[in-house]
């Protein structure tokens, strides 16, 4: 096999060794021995095993050694609780030659396929996490067991790749086209959903599941029972499955829906490989996977996806500009001002993750009780869905209470308000709360656009006021914007970050500025779309101008989700604070005045059509634009606004803007963040005179 030399600048591979030992099968009821290969990348058990070129060569050598021992069977397993997390992707963005990409794909196939073609029964004892290539090495084995606590999956399509070390070719023939589409397309595109052990067993991905305590012993016994004939594993020929066409059509529909109707390369190519597996030989399938992997690897969408994925992983662990964690205060009791839907979602999130008393208030006891009841009902639903035990739900329910008297906030360490978006009301609230709580109690606001600094005016302790902006739905959306005023101190910020980590949110710390990051950019973007409509552009043309790049929702679909009232309020706030580039749409004003909540409705036949009530309210100008003109206009506005935000110090780095739009606005992963996309399209240079990122970030390296 040819040794692959990675390009200069690529990170050094953390080698996963493959160690071989013999296991006597006589104690398990079979004759001979089992050559057990254990994958282990060293003593750091926080880092999963991965397959780079040198790791693949180590596995190849281990397979050769195992075969030389003339065992009754060969098995592969991982170090404690970790099987393998797949290919080492760290070097892919450094590849500049397609032949290297082809060679990496071929090397993986050449090594893994030996487990299927060696003429000896092979087993994968998947004792922990197995993703991508980690699952694929198991698919090349004849039989598979899985630990009951392990998660597994093929996330490649989520990352802009395909399961290219055998997954796209082997899995459809192993479990059938419908189930394969579920694993390769639906799970991957549903935010990289992984299979639990019971799901993998039900789908037929693995043959048996054992508890982790004696997983290896039970797996060896399973292998022995297969070898001595006492256990039969039946395989079905899925080439004649009548569901092929419908399954592939379902996969295509899932991908189109995910990307707003745009044809994206990775799911399209994965489906083509799966379709070919029905009639082609495995060898031909593997060759096609090599070529597809190389094509995708040498494309901007893959580089963009890797940039976005690595950025998200990095920022989950480290919050840019966060004060020392030791400055954070202990939080033992939390208050939520308000008991409406947003406040109730916040209360549920807080009690589930902080597991401390959470007290809610509203203007009367009935409203407060309604909020508490909603939280308790949601906990009960989690029990019904078997996502929480009845005992845990019962304990958490006892921690939630409600009152019309804000004096119940005495003793709170952290209070977040989610009342009506009116500055004077929030100012009045904070002044009242300051007389009830201790000087150390943090006062947080979930405002989406109002000035946090102005809320703190006139307080004795303005240093303990901070913006704590969630996105709706609170439990699902991963981003949390923490907004510091000029007076917010480090202890307050550190405590807010600590709470955000407990809530499992991805955070950015930003300057207190109108709209913070996400709403400022989204409102500017939306404003260009509504302005185009007000000027005479057809709503269909304006709303679909960005469809081709793969947004899951069009601007007007998003407006229907957040509500025209909220959108108009934010636009007015930004208009007042940032100037006339945030124009107030007469169409939006008319929709709010008339109570029209969406641009789209479902017709009697179930199809989605333009809402006649909304169409009738459109302010019809006489200067229509083409779709391309609307697209360029919207992108130019985003570039201009992003440059202003960086110049103003709203955030300190372009990467933070990328993170916010990925995690808070659904900016597509395959575009790699908003600013790399604007760089690649030439918008950054055109509008700002320079790129936001150096050349080669989230794109092919320049020659």
Q: Tens digit of pLDDT for each residue in 430-462?
A: 999 999 999 999 999 999 999 999 999 999 999
What is the Cβ-side half-sphere exposure of residue 581, based on CA atoms within 13 angstroms? 14
pLDDT at 43 over 80: no
pLDDT at 220 over 80: yes
**Region 142-157 average pLDDT:** 97
Residues 285 and 343 in one domain: no
pLDDT at 654 over 70: yes
Give the pLDDT score at 552.
79
Q: Are the C-beta atoms of 148 and 211 separated by less than 8 Å?
A: yes
Whether 266 maps to a domain, the answer reads yes
Task: Work out the number of other CB atoms within 10 angstroms of the CB of residue 328.
Answer: 20
**Region 83-87 average pLDDT:** 94
**Region 600-611 average pLDDT:** 87
Q: How many helices (H) and strands (E) does the chain have?
A: 30, 20
pLDDT at 701 over 80: no
**Boundary residue ending a domain (511, 546, 577):** 511
Whether 83 maps to a domain, the answer reads yes
pLDDT at 216 over 90: yes
Give the pLDDT score at 129.
95
**Boundary residue ending a domain (494, 511, 528):** 511
Residues 228 and 351 in one domain: no
Range 167-179 burial, b when 16+ CB lie within 10 A, else e = bbbbbbbbbbbbb
To the nearest 10°, report the CA torsion of 648, 651, 656, 660: -90
Q: Which residue in this structure is represented by tokens 């892919």?
A: 92
CATH number at residue 61: 3.90.226.10
442-445 vs 465-469, strand pairing mode: parallel
Q: Are the C-beta atoms of 38 and 62 separated by less than 8 Å?
A: no
Mean pLDDT of the chain: 95
Q: Are the C-beta atoms of 328 and 305 separated by less than 8 Å?
A: no
Q: Are the C-beta atoms of 123 and 76 separated by less than 8 Å?
A: yes
Residue numbers of the domain that contains 589: 518-649
How many domains does one find in the chain? 3
129-131 vs 122-126, strand pairing mode: unpaired
**Boundary residue ending a domain (279, 298, 317):** 298
Question: What is the distance, to the nearest Å, from the Cα of residue 374 to the centroid of all Cα atoms in its chain?
Answer: 27
Residues 276 and 389 in one domain: no
Whether 601 maps to a domain, the answer reads yes
Residues 330 and 445 in one domain: yes
Whether 303 maps to a domain, the answer reads no
Residues 339 and 474 in one domain: yes
Whether 679 maps to a domain, the answer reads no
Could you report the per-residue pLDDT of 313-357, keeping only the tens digit for each?
999 889 999 999 999 999 999 999 999 999 999 999 999 999 999
Q: Which helix (DSSP H) or strand (DSSP E) does residue 662 occupy?
A: helix 654-664
- Range from 45-59, 419-433, 488-502, 522-536 carrying the lowest mean pLDDT: 45-59
Q: Which two tokens stand for residue 336?
A: 């939520």
Could you report the per-residue pLDDT of 346-395, keeping only the tens digit for each?
999 999 999 999 999 999 999 999 999 999 999 999 999 989 999 999 99
Residues 236 and 346 in one domain: no
pLDDT at 44 over 70: no
Residues 194 and 212 in one domain: yes
Show the 3-state SS of 396-445: HHHHEEEECCHHHHCCCCEEEECCCCCHHHHHHHHHHHHCCCCCCCEEEE
pLDDT at 572 over 70: yes
pLDDT at 3 over 70: no
Residues 155 and 187 in one domain: yes
What secondary structure does DSSP assign to 97-114, as a single string? Answer: -HHHHHHHHHHHHHHHTH
Give the pLDDT score at 288.
98
Number of residues written out for the chain: 703
Q: Which two tokens stand for residue 322?
A: 């966060």
**Region 34-62 average pLDDT:** 91
Residues 79 and 171 in one domain: yes
Q: Which residue in this structure is represented by tokens 């509008």?
A: 687
Residues 199 and 162 in one domain: yes
**Region 164-179 average pLDDT:** 98
**pLDDT bucket at 702, cuts 50 / 70 / 90:** low
**Region 524-528 average pLDDT:** 95
Cβ contacts of residue 426 below 8 Å, gap of 6+? 417, 419, 445, 447, 450, 455
Q: Are the C-beta atoms of 604 and 518 separated by less than 8 Å?
A: no
**Region 23-50 average pLDDT:** 91
Q: DSSP 3-state assignment of 301?
A: helix
pLDDT at 703 over 60: no
Whether 313 maps to a domain, the answer reads no
195-196 vs 151-153, strand pairing mode: antiparallel
Whether 201 maps to a domain, the answer reads yes
Residues 536 and 502 in one domain: no
Q: Which two tokens stand for residue 510?
A: 């930003």
Give the pLDDT score at 2.
58
Give the pLDDT score at 666.
87
CATH number at residue 369: 3.40.50.720
**Region 58-84 average pLDDT:** 96
**Region 481-506 average pLDDT:** 98
Residues 51 and 190 in one domain: yes
Q: How far apart are CA 18 and CA 146, in angstroms?
A: 19
Whether 143 maps to a domain, the answer reads yes
Could you report the per-residue pLDDT of 181-213, keeping only the tens digit for each?
999 999 999 988 999 999 999 999 999 999 999
Q: How far apart are CA 540 and CA 543, in angstroms?
A: 5
CATH number at residue 585: 1.10.1040.50
Q: To the nearest whole percent, how much of the chain has pLDDT over 70?
A: 98
Q: Which of 427, 482, 498 is nearest to 458 (CA)?
A: 427
pTM of the model: 0.91
Give the pLDDT score at 74.
98
């Amino acid at each position: 096999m040819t040794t692959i030399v990675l390009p200069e600048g690529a990170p050094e591979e953390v080698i996963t060794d493959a160690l071989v030992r013999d296991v006597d099968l006589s104690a398990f009821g079979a004759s001979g021995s089992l050559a057990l290969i254990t994958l282990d990348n060293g003593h750091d058990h926080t880092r999963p095993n991965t397959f780079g070129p040198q790791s693949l060569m180590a596995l190849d050598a281990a397979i050769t050694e195992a075969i030389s021992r003339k065992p009754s069977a060969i098995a592969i397993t991982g170090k404690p609780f970790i099987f393998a997390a797949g290919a080492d992707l760290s070097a892919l963005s450094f590849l500049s030659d397609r032949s290297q990409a082809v060679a990496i794909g071929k090397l993986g196939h050449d090594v893994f396929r030996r487990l299927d073609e060696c003429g000896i029964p092979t087993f994968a004892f998947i004792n922990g996490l197995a993703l991508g290539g980690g699952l694929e090495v198991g698919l090349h084995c004849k039989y598979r067991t899985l630990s009951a606590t392990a998660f597994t999956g093929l996330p490649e399509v989520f990352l802009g790749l395909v399961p290219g070390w055998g997954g796209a070719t082997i899995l459809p023939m192993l479990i059938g086209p419908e189930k394969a589409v579920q694993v390769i397309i639906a799970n991957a595109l549903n935010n990289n959903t992984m299979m639990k052990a019971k799901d993998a067993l039900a789908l037929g991905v693995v043959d048996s599941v054992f508890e982790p305590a004696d997983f290896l012993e039970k797996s060896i016994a399973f292998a022995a029972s297969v070898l001595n004939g006492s256990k039969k594993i039946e395989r079905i020929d899925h080439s004649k499955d009548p569901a092929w066409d419908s399954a592939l059509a379902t996969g295509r529909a899932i991908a189109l829906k995910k990307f707003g109707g745009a044809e994206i390369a990775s799911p399209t190519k994965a489906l083509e490989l799966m379709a070919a597996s029905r009639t082609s030989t495995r060898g031909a399938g593997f060759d096609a996977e090599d070529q597809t992997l190389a094509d995708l690897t040498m494309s901007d969408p893959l580089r963009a996806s890797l940039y976005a994925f690595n950025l998200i992983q990095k920022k989950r662990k480290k919050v840019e500009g966060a004060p020392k964690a030791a400055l954070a205060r202990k939080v033992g009791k939390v208050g939520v001002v308000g008991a409406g839907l947003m406040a109730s979602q916040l209360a549920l999130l807080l009690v589930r993750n902080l597991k401390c008393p959470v007290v809610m208030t509203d203007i009367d006891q009935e409203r407060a009780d309604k909020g508490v009841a909603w939280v308790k009902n949601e906990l009960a639903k989690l029990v019904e869905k078997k996502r929480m035990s009845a005992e845990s739900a019962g304990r958490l329910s006892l921690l939630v209470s409600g009152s019309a008297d804000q004096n119940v906030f005495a003793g709170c360490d952290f209070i977040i308000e989610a009342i009506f978006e009116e500055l004077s009301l929030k100012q009045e609230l904070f002044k009242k709360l300051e007389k009830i709580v201790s000087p150390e109690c943090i006062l947080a606001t979930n405002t989406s656009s109002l000035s946090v600094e102005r809320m703190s005016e006139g307080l004795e302790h303005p240093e303990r006021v901070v913006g704590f902006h969630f996105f709706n739905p609170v439990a699902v959306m991963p981003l949390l914007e923490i907004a510091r005023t000029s007076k917010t101190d480090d202890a307050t910020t550190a405590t807010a970050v600590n709470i955000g980590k407990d809530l499992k949110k991805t955070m950015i710390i930003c300057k207190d500025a109108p709209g913070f990051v996400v709403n400022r950019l989204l409102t500017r973007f939306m404003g260009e779309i509504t302005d185009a409509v007000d000027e005479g552009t057809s709503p269909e043309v304006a709303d679909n101008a960005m469809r081709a790049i793969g947004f899951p929702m069009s601007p007007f679909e998003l407006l229907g989700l957040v509500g025209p009232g909220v959108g108009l309020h934010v636009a007015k706030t930004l208009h007042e604070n940032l100037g006339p580039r945030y124009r107030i749409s007469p169409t939006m004003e008319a929709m709010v005045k008339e109570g029209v909540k969406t641009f789209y409705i479902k017709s009697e036949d179930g199809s989605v059509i333009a809402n006649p009530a909304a169409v009738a309210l459109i302010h019809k100008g006489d200067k229509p634009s083409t779709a391309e003109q609307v697209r360029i206009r919207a992108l130019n506005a985003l570039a201009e606004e992003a440059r202003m935000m960086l110049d103003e110090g709203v955030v300190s780095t372009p990467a933070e803007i990328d993170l916010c739009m990925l995690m808070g606005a659904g900016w597509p992963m395959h575009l790699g963040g908003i600013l790399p996309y604007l760089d690649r399209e030439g918008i950054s240079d055109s509008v700002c005179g320079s790129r936001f990122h150096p050349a080669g970030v989230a794109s092919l390296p320049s020659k």
